[in-house]
Structure 1
C-alpha cells in the first residue's frame, strides 16, 4: 500500500516494537507547527509586480517562480481553453528570446522547470544556478512584457495542435472522460468552474489572433503576478535585478473579481458511464468551501480520516475487513472560491457495485453523525503538518518553499498563509470536523459510476499544424569548467541578447562514509542537515528479475504484503503506528532491487528504524491479507491490459529479451495473471527468506545524523539478523536473447483517440558500463524536451503532446526505448519520423558541435542543483552501488561531459542503436492505423489485446 510521505513527530527515541509502538503517544502537533517557517522579504514595483524573496544558502541555486492570477475561471463563453493555451504559448518564444523557451533554460542548467494552469492560476517555475539568476529574470520578464511581438498565427496554430494531443492523451486513459462530466454536473452553466481547464478546442480553433493578443493584455500584466525568488539570494541582490528587467513593463488592467458562489445540487445526481476499465469505480462528490475558509481545514481532515490515511475508515472496512473494494480514497481538491470533496472506491472485480455503494454510504453516515476520534484527528494533523516540513528541503518545483509563499500571496494576500493553515490544523477538534461534515456533506451528492465496457464513440479533435518557431543553436557563450563568463551588466537593460550567466561552482557531493554491521551488512552514509530528517534505504539484490519464470509477480506481491502487518502488528496497527510516529515506510521493487525505505525525523529515528526492521524481518504474511493483496494485484494487471501504456509495457520486454530472460517480464512488475492466481503463502515465505536476506542487503542513509549514531541503531535492529534459509543464487542473465529484427507488433484497442508507440532494442551494454556518451547522445536524439524527435513531432508537426527516448538503467543488459503517444491519423507517419531520425544520427545528420555544446553546458550547470534534496543524494548513492561506481562519481561527471565531442557521441549512438533492428509495439485502433503502418515497409504482426476484465477471485 502506498502511504503518504510524512516526517516524524518528536516522540520517544526508545526503540519500540509490537503493541508498544502501537500505543505510543505523540507529542503535540502545535510543537511541530512552530518549526515550520519560511522567512521572506517583500517589495512591490511601481507597476504592481509583487516580489517575495526567501534566502536559503544550502546550495548555489535560486528558484524563480512566477504566478499569474489567471486560470480557466476567467474564460468567458467562446474562449474556453485560452488560459491553458497561453501556458503553452509562453514557452514558445518572445520578442527577444525567439524560439522555444527550453532552448534557453537548457543553456542555463535549469532544473525543476515547468508551467501549469488550473482553475485559479497559471504558474511558471525553474531552479537555476545562482550565476544564472539574471538570465532567468530576463527570460521571465521578456515573456511577460514582450510576448506579443513573437505571437503569430503559425505559433498559435502549432500550440493548438500540441494541446489537442494533450487532450487526446488524457482522454485515452481509463476513466479519462470523467472530469468533463464532473465539472458540468457540479457547477451550473455560467459558473466559472463549469468547464474543464483544457477547454474547448473548437473555441481555440475559431479564435482570431487578435482575440489571443487581447487575452494576454488583459491578464498577464505585472500587477496580476507574484514573483518569488528562493534560494541563494537575498532582497538586496534581487531588488535591482528585478527592477532592471521588470520595472519598465507597463501595468496591465486591473482584473475584476470573479463571482463564483458555492453551488448546491437540487437533488442527488447519478451519472453512469462505461469505459475500458478493470472494475467499477464509484465516485461521490460535493462542492465545499474554498481553501481560505476556516471550514476547509476541518473538511480536509475529515476526508483524510475517511479515506486518506493508510488506516482510514473506508480502507479498514471496505478493503481490509469486508474486502468488497480493492482500493478507496478520499480527499479535498482545493480551489479559491470552492473546493471539491472527493470519494472514490474501486469495487472488487465481480463484486456487487450497489452493495459497495450502500456500504460506503453507511460508513459515511456513521462518520458524519458521530465524527472522528481525537486520535484520528491527531494523526491527520501530524501527517499534514509534517508534509509541510518535508517541503522545506526544496526551494522550488511544484511543492517547495517558493510555491508556498506564492500561493499564499496570490490566493489570500498573505505569503505566510501556510502558518494560518497549520495553526488551524493544530487546534482542530473532533467536534469541529463533525460540524463541518454535517453542514456540507448532508447536501445532495453527485455519484458517478464507471463500469467496464465500451465507451461511447470518441469525437475526434482537431489535428496539429504550423511549424517550429525556432531552432536549437549553440549558446552565445560556452563556459568551460573553472572559467568565468562575461560579467552581467548592471546598467540599463539591454534586451538584444540574454545576459550570460557567470561560472557555477563545481558540484560538492556529500562525502559518503561506509561502515559494517555485526553480520557484515554494509552501511553507506551521507550527512545532510537542512531539515531534522533522516532517510534510510535497505536495498536487497532481488527485484522483478528475481521472480521465477513460473511465479512472475511474486516480488511485487511480497513487497505489498510486507506493508500489511508483522507478527505483532496487523495492517491497521502498523498504519496507525507509522502515522503516530510520523514515520513513512515503503517497500518497492525495480527490475534489479527490492528496497525498504524509511523517512523519519531525527528525534524519532530509533523508534522508526525499529519499526522498519519489524516490517522487513518479521512479516505476518497472513492468509487473509494474501488473498486481499492478490485481488488488488490481479486488478492492477487487468487495468494494465486496458491501458495503452500498460499494454505496451507488458508486451515489449518478452519480445526483445525473450520470455525466459530475467528482464523478459512486464516492466510494471505485476507479473503474470495465472502465476499470481496460484501463488501460495509458502511460495511467498520461501521467496522472502531467500531474497530478503542479510547476505543480499545493503543499507543507505542520508540525513541529520552521523555514521556512528545510525550504525549503532541499525546494528541493534539488523546486526544480529539470522536468516531462516540460504540466500538465493544469483540471477541468471546468461540466457540467450532472441535475434534482433525490425518489426511492428500491433495491439488493437478500438476507439482509441491516440496510438501509443513503444519501441525498444537490447543494447550490447550493461548498466555498469560507461554510458555517459550514449546518454548524452540520446539527450539530443530524444531524451530532452529540445530533442530532435520531440521538437519534430510536437513542436513542428503537432502530432504529439510529447515523445522521448531513454537508455534504461538496468544492472545487466540495458534497453534503448522510444515512447511516443501520437494522434491516430498520424501513427504511421510518426513511426517513420522516429525511425528516420534514429538513422539520421548515425548517418546523414550526425550530432553537431552546437548540439554537443548546448548539451554539455546544460549537464554541467545542472549538477549543483540536482542534489538539493536528500532523496536525490540517496538515489545517486544507490545507483553508484548498483553500477559498481565510486561514491564520488557525481563529482567526476563534469569532466566526463567535457571530454565528449560531437564525433564521439555520434559514434557511440551509431555503435549501439540500430533503428533497423528495433521492435515497435503500437497500441491503437487497428482498423485506422494498420494500413498506415503497412505503408512503412516493416512486417506488421497483430497481437490480441488482453481478455476483457473477469472475476479476479483466486479460485
Structure 2
C-alpha cells in the first residue's frame, strides 16, 4: 500500500482529477536471455540496499458487519478522554451521470443541515460539546463525515450521525436545497477565482472521454447545480446513504464491547435497501497525447504534465508513489535540484501519484520563473524526465525517502481523528482494500520496494506521450420506525478529566531555559526553540526575519542545503524554522532511536547556519515571485495591503500579514543582514525551549548540554523591539483594489485591538467567537446559511505582543458586495445595540470550550504548542489546567462589556478586492466612510 497517499490533502480530492492508461506493449523493456541472470543478481542486491526497516506500528481493530450491512471498525486508544467517529459512504462524484454532476458534493453540504429529528444546523450540538476535527469531504470515490468528541458526548454524536443516515430524507426541503446550492456555487466561484483554479476542470475534461466518471470534478458544473431538483436529491439519498453502503469507525477512549453496543443501539435499526452496483475499474486503453494552453489571472506560467497510470491497489502503486518523491516535493528531489536550484528556471516543482478506484494519474507541476522562456523550461523538464526514466533512480535517495515517510507516519499516528488520524487510516484501508489493517500491514512491502522497481515504473510510464496543460498569465492582469429514542438528543456528559503531564523547568549550562513535558506513548520527541524577533524586528527591510528563517534550511555547518535535507531524511528527523510578527522559532521532531544524532544536527542549525551567498540570490528571487503569487490571490492581496493601513507605514506591524515582506525589502537583504540578524536574536538569553516527548529530564538535559555546549550568550546587550501604540481612525475608511473579471469580491475589514492580557481574555474570546469566530457565528450564519452569498465569513484576532490586528473577511459573489457589507455592519451594530449576546449563545460557547479541552492535548504537537504559548506569556503551568474553570465562570455581562470595550464597526478599515466596474458605485453609495482606490501594483 502506498504510504504518502494517506496524507494527501483533501483539497486534491476535490479538485485534482486522475486518469489511467494501460502501458503499451512496446514500453516494456525486453531483456535477452543472457542478461536475465545478471539482472536478477542486481535486483537482489538493490532490494537489500534500498530496504529500510518499517517501524513496528499497530492499530489493533475489531471489525464486524451488522445485520443491516453496516461495517463497523473499533480501535481503542486511551491516552485522552476523546472518541473519534469517521463514516465513509461508498459514493462520490464517479457515481454521478453527465447532466447531474456535483450531486455528491452538494449532498455532503445538505447533510450538515440537520435531520428529521434534529432540524436546523447540524454543527450546533457539536459546537457546544467540545467537538474537534469535525468536517465532511467529497472526492471522486467516496464521501466522509468525521468528528472527535469528548467521551461524554459520544452518545450525542452517534445519535446525530445515525439520525442523518436513517432519518434525513424528510428534512430535505426546497428551501434547504436552494440554500446549500447557493453555498456550493460560491465555493465553486471561490475555487475558480483563485489562481490556477480552473486547471483541474480542464485536466479532467481533457484526459477522460465525456462519459468517464472521472471526466468532471466533484464540485460539478453551475448548470447541473441549478438543475438539481428536490426529487433528484432525495433519490440520491435513498440510493447511496444506507448502512450497507457505509463504513463506521469508532476510535478512542472506548472498549470494543461498549463501541459495538452503541453501534447496534444507534445504527442497528436503520434498514438497507438494494445497494447500487459499483464500477470497479475503468482504465483507459492508451495515453492521452495532447497539449493545451489557457490564460488566467495568474502571476507566472505553470506547466502541468499528466500521465495515465494504474489505479489504487495495483502492484505498482508503492513504486509510483516513491517515484514522485524522487522527482519532486523535496529539496533533494531531481526536478527541484535541476530546475529550481541549478538552472533557476522555476520557482517550484511538485508531483504526486493520485490513485483512485477506477484509475490513477501521475501529475507533475512546474512554476516557470518569470522571464524564463517556456520552451526552455519544458525542454529541460522533458530531458530530465527522459534521463530519470533511463536510469536515474538512486538507492540512497530511495532509502532516505522511506525513512522520512516512516518518521512522518509515526509522528502522525497520535491522533485518533481528523485527516490522517487513526480512524481515517482504518476507514481508508477498509474502503480501498477491504481490510482495515491494509495500510499499516503494507508498510513492510513499502519498505521492500527496490530502486529497480521504481526504475521500471519510471521507464514504463514517463513516456513522451502525455497530457500537457500550460496556464499562462493574461496579457493584462486583472428512516426506521423503531429502535433508539429519536424524540430528543442524548445529553452530553460535561465531565472533563484531563491528566496533563507535569511540566519540568530547568536551565542548561549556557543559561537557556527549558520546559519539558514527558509523554511516552510513541517513540518521538518534539521541540520548539523560540526567540523574540519576528517581522517586528525587520526595521527597514520587510521580510528579513522570514528570510532568515527560510535560509536556515539552506545548510548548517559543513552541510549544504541538499545534504542537510538528506541527513534529516536519513534520521527520520524534521528541523524547520518559522517566523511570526513577534517571534522566530526553530522546530524539531525526531524518533527516540535517533535522538542524539538528530540533536547534533539541530545544534548545527542553531550555531552554524551557512546563509550561503549562492543560494541567497535564488531564494530571494523565488520569494519575489511568491509575492507576485500572493498579489494574484484576493486574500493574499488584501492581507498585504491591510497592515500599513491599520498601523502606518514603517510600523513594526505594518508589513504584509502574509509574512513574505515586500519586493523592495527582499531585494535589499544581503548575507551580512542575515548573519547580523542571527547574531542579534538567536542567543540563549533571548530564547526559550519547550520539549514534549518520549524522554526524561535527565536524558534530555544531558543531550542538550552536549549538543548546545558551544552556544553562549554574547557580551553585547540584547536588542529590544519597540512596538509603538497607534490610534484607531475616527471614521471607517474604505480602500478598493481592482481585479477586472473577478467572479467574487473579497471583503476584508481590520480593527486594532489592545495587546493580549490574561484579565478578561476569556470574555474577549467568547465575544469574538459568537459574533464572527466560528461556523455558527452570527456573521457566517447570515452570509453563508441565510443569504448563501458566501462560502464562509469569519474574523480572527492575531495573538501579538503589541496591539493585535482583528481581521474580518468574507468572500462574496460580485453582485452582493455592497449588500454583504451592509449585512456585516448590521450584525456588528446589533451585537453592540439591541441584540447583545444571548444567554443560550454564551452557554453553547462555554460548553464547547470546556468540553473541547478533552481533545486539546491529544498529540505531542498540540501539547507543545500550548506549553510554548504559556511560557511565552510568562504564565504558570496551572493557567492551562484552570482554563475550563475560567470559561465556565463567564457571565453575559462580562461578554457584553468586552464587546462594548473592543468592537467598533464604525472604525473599521475596509479593503475590498473585486471588479470595480461592477461594485465601486454601490460601495460608495453606502457612505460608510471615504473611499479610495489603491494602485493595483501590476
TM-score category, normalised to shorter length: over 0.9
> Counterpart of 1:110?
131
> Counterpart of 2:360?
339
Instruction: Find the partner of 2:407 among 386, 389, 404.
Output: 386
> Counterpart of 2:396?
375
How do residues 314-353 of structure 1 correspond to structure 2 at under 5 angstroms? Answer: 314-353=335-374
Corresponding position: 1:540 with 2:561: no
Deviation at 1:263, TM superposition (A): 2.1
Deviation at 1:874, TM superposition (A): 0.9
Distance 2:913 2:319 in 1: 45
Corresponding position: 1:211 with 2:202: no
> Counterpart of 1:97?
118
> Counterpart of 2:144?
123
Q: Deviations over 1:837-863 (max 9, x none)?
A: 111111110101111111101111111
Q: Runs of 4 or more off by more than 6 Å in structure 1?
A: 4-7, 26-31
Please give the secondary structure, in 2, of the residue aligned with 1:563. Answer: helix
Assess if the C-alpha contact under 8 Å between 1:371 and 1:430 holds in 2.
no
Corresponding position: 1:64 with 2:54: no
Instruction: Find the partner of 2:549 among 551, 554, 559.
Output: 559
Assess if the C-alpha contact under 8 Å between 1:693 and 1:727 holds in 2.
no
Distance 1:504 1:565 in 2: 49
Assess if the C-alpha contact under 8 Å between 1:290 and 1:337 holds in 2.
yes
Please give the secondary structure, in 2, of the residue aligned with 1:112. Answer: strand
How do residues 132-151 of structure 1 correspond to structure 2 at under 5 angstroms? Answer: 132-151=153-172
Instruction: Find the partner of 1:824 among 810, 814, 820.
Output: 814
Deviation at 1:29, TM superposition (A): 8.7
Deviation at 1:32, TM superposition (A): 4.6
Please give the secondary structure, in 2, of the residue aligned with 1:294. Answer: coil
> Counterpart of 1:413?
434
Instruction: Find the partner of 1:787 among 777, 789, 803.
Output: 777
Distance 1:916 1:719 in 2: 55
> Counterpart of 1:731?
721
> Counterpart of 2:803?
813
> Counterpart of 1:617?
607
Q: Deviations over 1:173-212 (max 9, x none)?
A: 1111101101111111111100011002211221221111
Q: Deviations over 1:18-73 (max 9, x none)?
A: xxxxxxxx999977525121110111111100000001101111001100000000
Instruction: Find the partner of 2:668 among 678, 691, 694.
Output: 678
Q: With structure 1 as the length reference, what TM-score do the two structures score?
A: 0.91
Assess if the C-alpha contact under 8 Å between 1:756 and 1:820 holds in 2.
yes
How do residues 387-536 of structure 1 correspond to structure 2 at under 5 angstroms? Answer: 387-442=408-463, 444-453=465-474, 493-536=484-527
Q: With structure 2 as the length reference, what TM-score do the two structures score?
A: 0.93
Q: 1:446 to 1:728 in 2, by over 3 A?
A: farther
Corresponding position: 1:186 with 2:234: no
Q: 1:314 to 1:687 in 2, by over 3 A?
A: same
Assess if the C-alpha contact under 8 Å between 2:52 and 2:402 holds in 1.
no
Distance 1:930 1:725 in 2: 57
Distance 2:797 2:636 in 1: 19
Deviation at 1:712, TM superposition (A): 1.5
Distance 2:352 2:511 in 1: 45
Q: 1:132 to 1:208 in 2, by over 3 A?
A: same
Distance 1:40 1:737 in 2: 59
Distance 1:27 1:394 in 2: 33
Distance 2:76 2:674 in 1: 51
> Counterpart of 1:634?
624
Distance 1:325 1:362 in 2: 15
Deviation at 1:503, TM superposition (A): 3.5
Assess if the C-alpha contact under 8 Å between 1:264 and 1:287 holds in 2.
no
Q: Deviations over 1:703-730 (max 9, x none)?
A: 1101221122111222431356835521
> Counterpart of 2:701?
711
Please give the secondary structure, in 2, of the residue aligned with 1:766. Answer: coil
> Counterpart of 1:751?
741
Assess if the C-alpha contact under 8 Å between 2:83 and 2:148 holds in 1.
yes
Distance 1:245 1:529 in 2: 35
Please give the secondary structure, in 2, of the residue aligned with 1:809. Answer: coil
Task: Name which of structure 1's ranges 219-228 and 205-214 shifts more when overlaid on structure 2.
Answer: 205-214
Please give the secondary structure, in 2, of the residue aligned with 1:286. Answer: strand
> Counterpart of 2:195?
174
Distance 2:84 2:6 in 1: 23
Q: 1:724 to 1:624 in 2, by over 3 A?
A: farther
> Counterpart of 2:590?
600
Distance 2:371 2:567 in 1: 33
Please give the secondary structure, in 2, of the residue aligned with 1:625. Answer: helix
Please give the secondary structure, in 1, of the residue aligned with 2:351. Answer: strand
List alignment gaps of at least 5 residues for structure 2: 8-46
Distance 1:69 1:132 in 2: 26
Q: Deviations over 1:124-163 (max 9, x none)?
A: 0000111211111100000000001111000000000000
> Counterpart of 2:221?
200
How do residues 635-650 of structure 1 correspond to structure 2 at under 5 angstroms? Answer: 635-650=625-640
Distance 1:567 1:654 in 2: 38
> Counterpart of 2:840?
850
Distance 1:668 1:372 in 2: 37
Q: 1:624 to 1:139 in 2, by over 3 A?
A: same
Q: Deviations over 1:736-758 (max 9, x none)?
A: 44645311111111111111111
Count of residues paired in the alignment: 894
Distance 2:725 2:229 in 1: 61
Q: 1:740 to 1:727 in 2, by over 3 A?
A: farther
Assess if the C-alpha contact under 8 Å between 1:288 and 1:338 holds in 2.
yes
> Counterpart of 2:645?
655
> Counterpart of 1:697?
687
Task: Name which of structure 1's ranges 936-945 and 562-571 shifts more when overlaid on structure 2.
Answer: 936-945
Q: Deviations over 1:215-273 (max 9, x none)?
A: 11001110000000000112210122111111111113222121642225565211112
Distance 1:909 1:63 in 2: 35
> Counterpart of 1:901?
891
Distance 1:629 1:240 in 2: 57
Instruction: Find the partner of 2:244 among 223, 227, 232.
Output: 223
Deviation at 1:879, TM superposition (A): 1.2
Distance 2:500 2:812 in 1: 40
Assess if the C-alpha contact under 8 Å between 1:521 and 1:719 holds in 2.
no
Distance 2:178 2:229 in 1: 11
> Counterpart of 2:267?
246
Assess if the C-alpha contact under 8 Å between 1:6 and 1:583 holds in 2.
no
> Counterpart of 1:276?
297
Instruction: Find the partner of 1:771 among 750, 761, 777.
Output: 761
Distance 2:310 2:435 in 1: 19
Distance 1:451 1:532 in 2: 47
Please give the secondary structure, in 2, of the residue aligned with 1:125. Answer: strand
Q: Deviations over 1:280-310 (max 9, x none)?
A: 1111111211221110111111111011333
Distance 1:300 1:203 in 2: 34
Q: Deviations over 1:893-917 (max 9, x none)?
A: 1111111111210111111111111
> Counterpart of 1:261?
282
List alignment gaps of at least 5 residues for structure 1: 8-25, 458-490, 949-955
